[in-house]
Structure 1
């Protein structure tokens, strides 16, 4: 099956101090995680390789928060507090973009898949096992 064509989409934080572009199809599937930080912020994940993400504004406005294993790098705008993207634990060489922070109309979400991030190790083991089958 051929991959859908992709174009650069723009997004950013609430105040506009942080802006980014992400290379993505017009129609996407996203993940909703139930871990404490994603649940509390309503984050919808579009996980991409690093070469499909570029920070275009506000590197000096980003503050980073780590917890648990410290692998994930939760980047927030130091002005408005919005986490529009971060480095996820599941893909530390890529980025997770909060689809809710993309500019209006940039993408259409066709499906939301729930990820059990509250039980991260078990959930990742199930995914690995499913890939082996």
Structure 2
């Protein structure tokens, strides 16, 4: 496996986005399988995060829901959650919240937030 560069990330995300917009699960899962043979789980999770961001930019939230239900396997979903949890964790610390007091992560990687942390997340 090689390390993904910016061009490869952009290209893979474009392919995934177009595949998802067809709503054909075979096309989407085939592209995803090909990516998983070329790149690490973390890199493929990054491709999916960029793809989801692109779909949301196009106001295609139904495509995001469809993708989660039909395309993303559990192992990849866990990696996506891990990546996003770290980003949210860093953001919360940056807002002055205290790990273990205002927020934490359970054994399954799920982010646990108290009311103060929930307010901080929603406030962007």
TM-score by length of 1: 0.24
- More strand per residue: 1
Structure number with bigger Rg? 2
